[in-house]
Every structure is written in C-alpha cells, then in structure tokens.
Amino acid sequence: MVIEPKFRNNIFINSHPTGCAAEVRRQIEYVRSKGRIQGPRKALVVGSSTGYGLASRIVAAFGCGAETIGIAFEKEGSDKRPGTAGWYNTLAFQKEAVAAGLQAFDINADAYATEVKERAVETLKRTPAKVDLLVYSLASPVRTDPATGILHKSVLKPIGGAYSARSVDVMSGEVKDFSVEPATAQEIADTVKVMGAEDWKLWIAALLGAGLLAEGAVAIAYSYIGPAMTHAIYREGTIGRAKEDLERGAREIGGLLSSVGGRAYVSVNKAVVTRSSAVIPVVPLYISLLFKVMKAKGVHEDCIAQIERLFADRLYTGDVPTDAEGRIRIDDLELRPDVQNDVAELWTRVDTANFERLADAEGYRRDFLAVHGFGIPGVDYAADVDP
Ligand SMILES: NC(=O)c1ccc[n+]([C@@H]2O[C@H](COP(=O)([O-])OP(=O)(O)OC[C@H]3O[C@@H](n4cnc5c(N)ncnc54)[C@H](O)[C@@H]3O)[C@@H](O)[C@H]2O)c1
C-alpha cells in the first residue's frame, strides 16, 4: 500500500515503515560520526522503541558497542494498516544491529507487568554478561498495578487551580487559548502511580533478585523541568509530581544498588518532539519557539544529540556531574538565561497570524513527521510498501 501521513489533534494515527527505518539509520550514523564512547557492555532499555529510549539504545549499541535488550509496547502492522512507528523502529534497529554484529533482544509487551520482568530476566540470561546499564524511559498514559490489578490513568493537569494558556495545533498552525481544570487528589495519585518511581524500583528489584546486575551498574531515568511558562501544567502539575517521585526514587534505588557498587541517576533532558511531548498542552507551542531560538544561537539538539552528549559528557566521564539535588542536567542549553529570555519575549507575542514567522513551525512539523517515518529525505513515499 501507499502510506500517507494521518494525524488528528497533534496525534499521528499511522507511520511509514521505510521512513522509520531511514530515521533509525540517520540516528545510528550520527552516533557513529561522534566516535566511540567507553560506555556500557550490556544495556537494558525499558521504553526502547521511540524518543529518548530509542536514542539511548542506539548510543549504547552503536556508540559503545553494547549488547542491548529493548522493552517496548508497540502495535504490529497488518495487511490493512501500518503498525506504530516504534514497531518499525525496533525492526530497523534489529536489522542494523545484526549487520553490525551487535547482540540485540526485544520484548514487545507491557513493561509494567510482573511476567514481562520475568521474561526479561530469562532473556538476559541468554548471554553471559551482566547488565551494567538500565535505562528507564517509559512514557505511558496507563498502568495496571501488578499488586492490585487496578488500572491507573495518568492525566496532564495543573494542581490547586485551573490553568489557562495558549497552545497550538502544530499541523494547522492555529494558536488558541485553552483552559484545564485542576486535578483531583485521585488523579494526582494515579499519575504518580503510572509515571513515578514504583515500576522503576520493581525493575531494579527483579534484576538484583536474579543476580543480573554487574558490579558498578548504572540505572538512569529521564525527567523534565522546563521554564516558568510551562510550570503550572508540567513541573507543578500532575506529571511534575510523578517526576519528583522518580527523582526521590533514584535516591532509594541508589541505596539498593550499593550492594553491587552501582549508582542511580535521573537525567533532566531537553524538550524535544516525541509522541509523548506532542500531547502535553502548551508544550508544542513552547517547543516551536524554543527551537527557533536555539537554532538561531546554534545550540539546538534533538533526541539523539541529547543522549549522545549525556553518555559522552556526563555519564561516562569518570565523576558524573550533577546539580545540588543529585540530578544530571543535560537541559543546560535549553535553560540558558539568554535562550529563555528570547523564548519568553516571543511567547508574549505569538498568535495564529505570526506563528509561522515567530516559531520554528517548519522544524517542529519536520520532526513530528520524522518521528512517524514521514518526510524523510531519500524515501520514495509514492512506492508501494508492505506494512
Ligand atoms: N519528550 C520530551 O521532551 C522529554 C523531555 C525530558 C524528559 N522526557 C522523558 O523521557 C522519557 C521518555 O519519553 P519520550 O518523550 O521519549 O516518549 P516516547 O513516547 O517517544 O517513548 C515512550 C516509550 O515507552 C514505551 N512504552 C509505553 N508504555 C509502555 C508499556 N506499558 N510497556 C512497555 N513499553 C511502553 C513505548 O513503546 C516507547 O518506547 C519520559 O520519562 C519523559 O518524561 C521527555
């Protein structure tokens, strides 16, 4: 079939297999061009198929030569419709890893489930090396608690009062005001259940219990802080509560890992275009303005550039530099005062009429299409593809 992009309200409902494969190869080439990093030998990546998790797996494998085990939850293609981008990314990663002589195993199932952790343990035992890096990069709207069977749903809402701001439908360029009611106590607790540290700790316990962690193993999860203009909906909202829990969790996990001389970190990453960031109110508008400013200053980075720098300049440098709270900061360029002052100035002026000019609308759209395998240079989109 010939596959054309289909999207609604900043959500894509299809993806392109050839384009996804080309985008995975671009990221691999980027990592190769940066040279070798003395990093992990065997990495488990939970949330490995798209965004920051995929980038982490690519850097571990193609930047460090590591064996990788990926856990993701993606939909396979059928005769009638394409699968999700993460499904094709994983197939493409496998193919490139095999070609490069790198071991790569995958489990496509719910990472929150106990039996999936057990399957991961069995898979990890298939090769003799122990895991020296666990990347936890899940972004999910729901989680079934394995202890109770209860399905928890995360929400993106402010806490304490309603929040009104501007947002953009990036594909149409329409900037409009919106308002979100504050979260209930239950919604806050549910979001922490889904996106907080509880499941990360269960992963660490499963690996430690099976004796699969190497001496000096590193566990890392990803967080976001961002500027004041997004705080009400992000850092001080429900998702921010979950991120605080994740950051507290890193300290607890660090304690657990001391038995193998290991360490746990949260890395605060930059805002980038992924399936998950596209659905957070305000964030696509903020990101489009941020990209305009960061590109003008020559400091823009995408997922793969962020993670390559995280490994090369932070995680595997000897002494890992952290902030006062023990977090790795790779959002340093995003939060530079000159960058944020320029974004804040544009923020006061942006509307539908000037969005294309003030913001990097084109760059955002290009990234958003690329995340789903569309608009990739060199791909023949008129060609028939088998989904
Ligand atoms: N995108 C950003 O701007 C940004 C910035 C800073 C930090 N982060 C953080 O990075 C992490 C990853 O986010 P992303 O933007 O790369 O998201 P993403 O949507 O691109 O990736 C999410 C991954 O989680 C997997 N996943 C979701 N539910 C699953 C389940 N039940 N079982 C197994 N796998 C599952 C998906 O398959 C995918 O591999 C999150 O913690 C996010 O908060 C993102």
Q: Cβ–Cβ contacts within 10 Å for residue 199, how many?
A: 23
Ligand 1 pocket residue status of 134, Cβ below 6 Å: no
Ligand 1 pocket residue status of 291, Cβ below 6 Å: no
Closest C-alpha among 301, 228, 236 to residue 270: 301
Place of tokens 């079934």: 144
Residues marked active site are found at 234
Ligand 1 pocket residue status of 12, Cβ below 6 Å: no
The alpha-carbon radius of gyration of the chain (Å, integer) is 20
* The pairing of beta strand 131-136 with beta strand 213-223: parallel
Residue 85, both tokens: 């981008």
**Contact indicator for 314, 328 with CB cutoff of 8 Å:** yes
Ligand 1 pocket residue status of 56, Cβ below 6 Å: no
Place of tokens 């002589």: 101
HSE of 80 in the Cβ direction (CA atoms, 13 Å)?
1
Closest C-alpha among 377, 372, 379, 331 to residue 74: 372
Q: Which atom of ligand 1 is nearest to the CA of 272?
A: 3
Q: Can you tell me the distance from the alpha carbon of 376 to that of 367, in angstroms, rounded to the nearest whole number?
A: 10
All domains of the chain in start order, with CATH? 15-145+184-281+296-337 (3.40.50.720)
What local confidence, expressed as pLDDT, does residue 179 receive?
A: 94
Q: Which atom of ligand 1 is nearest to the CA of 84?
A: 37
Amino acid identity of residue 199, one-letter, is D
Separation of CA 269 and ligand 1 centre (Å): 12
Ligand 1 pocket residue status of 306, Cβ below 6 Å: no
Separation of CA 140 and ligand 1 centre (Å): 7
Indicate the top mutation candidate among 23, 76, 134, 140 to test ligand 1's pocket, ranked by most ligand atoms within 8 A of CB.
140
Any idea what DSSP says for residue 109? S
| Cα angle 80, 83, 85; round to 5 | 145
Q: Can you tell me the distance from the alpha carbon of 237 to that of 182, in angstroms, rounded to the nearest whole number?
A: 9
What local confidence, expressed as pLDDT, does residue 9 receive?
A: 78
Q: Which atom of ligand 1 is nearest to the CA of 243?
A: 43
Cα separations (Å) of 290 from 54, 229, 335, 341, 364? Answer: 23, 12, 10, 10, 10
Give me the sheet containing 42-46, strands edge to edge: 104-108, 67-72, 42-46, 131-136, 213-223, 263-268, 328-329
Residues of the chain with pLDDT under 50: none
User: pLDDT, tens digit, for every residue of 100-128?
Assistant: 999 999 999 999 999 999 999 999 999 99
Place of tokens 């069977």: 149
What local confidence, expressed as pLDDT, does residue 7 receive?
A: 86
Closest C-alpha among 239, 266, 202, 291 to residue 52: 266
What local confidence, expressed as pLDDT, does residue 279 receive?
A: 86
What local confidence, expressed as pLDDT, does residue 10 receive?
A: 78
What local confidence, expressed as pLDDT, does residue 150 receive?
A: 98
What local confidence, expressed as pLDDT, does residue 93 receive?
A: 98
**Which protein residue has the closest C-alpha to ligand 1 atom 20?**
51
Q: Can you tell me the distance from the alpha carbon of 196 to that of 306, in angstroms, rounded to the nearest whole number?
A: 22
HSE of 15 in the Cβ direction (CA atoms, 13 Å)?
27
**Contact indicator for 368, 302 with CB cutoff of 8 Å:** no
Q: What's the chain's length in residues? A: 387
